Amino acid sequence: MAKKLFIETLGCAMNERDSEHMIAELSQKEDYTLTDSVEDADLILINTCSVRERPVHKLFSELGAFNKKKKEGAKIGVCGCTASHLGEEIIKKAPYVSFVLGARNVSKITEVLHKPKAVETDINYDESQFAFNDFRSSPYKAYINISIGCDKQCTFCIVPKTRGEEISIPADLIVAEAQKAAKNGAKEVFLLGQNVNNYGRRFSGEHEKMNFTQLLRRVSAVEGIERIRFTSPHPFHMDDEFLEEFASNPKICKSMHMPLQSGSSKILKEMKRGYTKEWFLNRVEKLRAVCPEVSISTDIIVAFPGESDEDFEETLDVMRQVEFDQIFSFKYSPRPLTEAQNYPNPVDPEVAKERLVRLQALHQEISDRKIQRHKDKVYEVYFEELSHDYYVKGRTNTNVIVKVKGSEELLGTFKNVRITEVARTVMTGEIVEEKAS
């Protein structure tokens, strides 16, 4: 009888893809099928994130709960970024954990399964030749890794220590993945990497010289793929050629993630982000000049050590100038193995809290005003997911989520949709004959 796998995935899209990879390995080589029930599972996996401290604390309480619920003989495995940085400590703290598998080692899942108390956390392990597999949680959109690891040294970020140095995946493998996905019915690909537009900096073997812009052209030549998205790009690597390709290539979706982190050039320097406030604003200006309809999202950290009121005001200033469509904002969280954990002048936690509240309120004000522009507009929507009450959800090219009344037949299709009700997260619309504007 097939064994049952319960898997919980925390964190980013890279982790989601890693989970898909582990599911594929376990189903093909070990005859596992997925279950939603911890109690029924023969194997319980938590694919962890370590970017901020809170999820790490949560991990141990969650492990305790899983251990109580699990059936006799079931195994618990801890995978992902926290597995990479805590390694053996996890088994010391939670001795019922069967194995620990780092973010760079997910392809070894079927190996560690049979090695009691195995700890595989080698950040030099090279998965760039085979980080692929067929399992996809959605048939309509395919996540495809284009690189592993990260070479940047942002002083707040633990990722380079958990995912190791950056290696680009050979372009032919990426194109083959996109072709396979298209053959299986996906019309959208989502290219993934910690720093996608640094693609081509290093391959693990012989490879023709290629940058991200060239890779985008290669992927967009794949027949059947109609939409390309990617995450995360870095503002430092947004050269003109890349922005122009982004704007002019009709298959590339017009939604760009531009992680600002801070609007103060002083803090950006302390973060070792490699750009200034002026560079960031200049890139936004260039992007909007070549692609006026683009939607821009960002990540912002408040209360980085040494952030003064003036520095914070500069972040608000950038927000007012750019008017981001979406933000992901966080209080700075000191992380082990990072340079900034030892920085002086931590910001008072009350001040940090206040800054986050102010920043989020400003964003809400901007966004509530900006989203009104969608009312009555007609967009082409790609439908991906059933929603409750007989609605189907999809996305516009600029990443606006829209639901319309309908059923399965809409999934995997493009339709023109008029926005009838504007909302913060999911807009409502109706399918129309009229062409998208």
Shortest approach of ligand SF4 to residue 310 CB, angstroms? 24
The whole-angstrom separation of Cα 226 and Cα 135 is 21
Rg (CA), the chain: 22
Does residue 255 contact residue 297 with C-beta atoms inside 8 Å? yes
The site partner of 301 among ligand 5AD, ligand SF4, none (C-beta below 5 to 8 Å per kind) is: ligand 5AD
The site partner of 333 among ligand 5AD, ligand SF4, none (C-beta below 5 to 8 Å per kind) is: ligand 5AD
If the CB atoms of residues 253 and 268 are measured against ligand SF4, the closer one turns out to be 268
Residue showing tokens 């009350």? 350
- Backbone φ, ψ for residue 153 (5° rounding): -125, 40
DSSP H helices, 113-264, are 159-163, 171-183, 212-220, 240-248
Residues 150-169 close enough to bind ligand SF4 by CB under 6 A: 150, 152, 154, 157, 159-160
Shortest approach of ligand SF4 to residue 10 CB, angstroms? 16
Both structure tokens of 287: 């992007």
Shortest approach of ligand SF4 to residue 431 CB, angstroms? 39
Of 206, 291, 208, 298, the closest CA to residue 258 belongs to 298
Residue showing tokens 């900096």? 201
Of 295, 244, 235, the closest CA to residue 263 belongs to 235
The site partner of 391 among ligand SF4, ligand 5AD, none (C-beta below 5 to 8 Å per kind) is: none
Interface with ligand SF4 includes 80 (CB under 6 A)?
Answer: no
Residues 367-406 close enough to bind ligand SF4 by CB under 6 A: none
Shortest approach of ligand 5AD to residue 86 CB, angstroms? 16
| Count, residues in the chain | 437
If the CB atoms of residues 163 and 418 are measured against ligand 5AD, the closer one turns out to be 163
If the CB atoms of residues 299 and 317 are measured against ligand 5AD, the closer one turns out to be 299
Q: In degrees, to the nearest 5, what angle opens at C-alpha 113 toward C-alphas 110 and 118?
A: 115
Does residue 218 contact residue 257 with C-beta atoms inside 8 Å? no
The whole-angstrom separation of Cα 193 and Cα 44 is 26
Does residue 405 contact residue 391 with C-beta atoms inside 8 Å? yes
Interface with ligand SF4 includes 412 (CB under 6 A)?
Answer: no
Both structure tokens of 423: 């909302």
Query: 192-222 burial, b for 16+ CB within 10 Å, e for fewer?
Result: bbbbbbbbbeebeeeeeebbbbbbbeebbeb
If the CB atoms of residues 125 and 330 are measured against ligand SF4, the closer one turns out to be 330
Q: Which residue is nearest to ligand 5AD (CB)?
A: 299
Shortest approach of ligand SF4 to residue 152 CB, angstroms? 4
Interface with ligand SF4 includes 257 (CB under 6 A)?
Answer: no
Shortest approach of ligand 5AD to residue 175 CB, angstroms? 28
Shortest approach of ligand SF4 to residue 285 CB, angstroms? 22
Shortest approach of ligand 5AD to residue 121 CB, angstroms? 19
If the CB atoms of residues 23 and 51 are measured against ligand 5AD, the closer one turns out to be 51
Does residue 51 contact residue 80 with C-beta atoms inside 8 Å? no
Query: 35-44 burial, b for 16+ CB within 10 Å, e for fewer?
Result: beebeebbbb
The site partner of 194 among ligand SF4, ligand 5AD, none (C-beta below 5 to 8 Å per kind) is: ligand SF4
Q: Which residue is nearest to ligand SF4 (CB)?
A: 157
Positions touching ligand 5AD (CB under 6 A) are: 51-52, 156-157, 259, 261, 299, 301, 330, 332-333, 335
Shortest approach of ligand 5AD to residue 153 CB, angstroms? 13
Q: Which DSSP helix (H) or strand (E) runs through 89?
A: helix 88-93
The whole-angstrom separation of Cα 107 and Cα 112 is 10
Shortest approach of ligand 5AD to residue 19 CB, angstroms? 17
The site partner of 332 among ligand SF4, ligand 5AD, none (C-beta below 5 to 8 Å per kind) is: ligand 5AD
| The only residue of 194, 197, 231, 255 in contact with ligand SF4, by rule CB under 6 A | 194
If the CB atoms of residues 303 and 400 are measured against ligand 5AD, the closer one turns out to be 303
Shortest approach of ligand SF4 to residue 12 CB, angstroms? 9
Does residue 70 contact residue 44 with C-beta atoms inside 8 Å? yes
If the CB atoms of residues 274 and 346 are measured against ligand SF4, the closer one turns out to be 274
The site partner of 234 among ligand 5AD, ligand SF4, none (C-beta below 5 to 8 Å per kind) is: ligand SF4
Does residue 188 contact residue 413 with C-beta atoms inside 8 Å? no
The whole-angstrom separation of Cα 175 and Cα 230 is 14
Does residue 199 contact residue 168 with C-beta atoms inside 8 Å? yes
If the CB atoms of residues 214 and 297 are measured against ligand 5AD, the closer one turns out to be 297
For ligand SF4, the binding residues (CB under 6 A) are 150, 152, 154, 157, 159-160, 194-195, 234
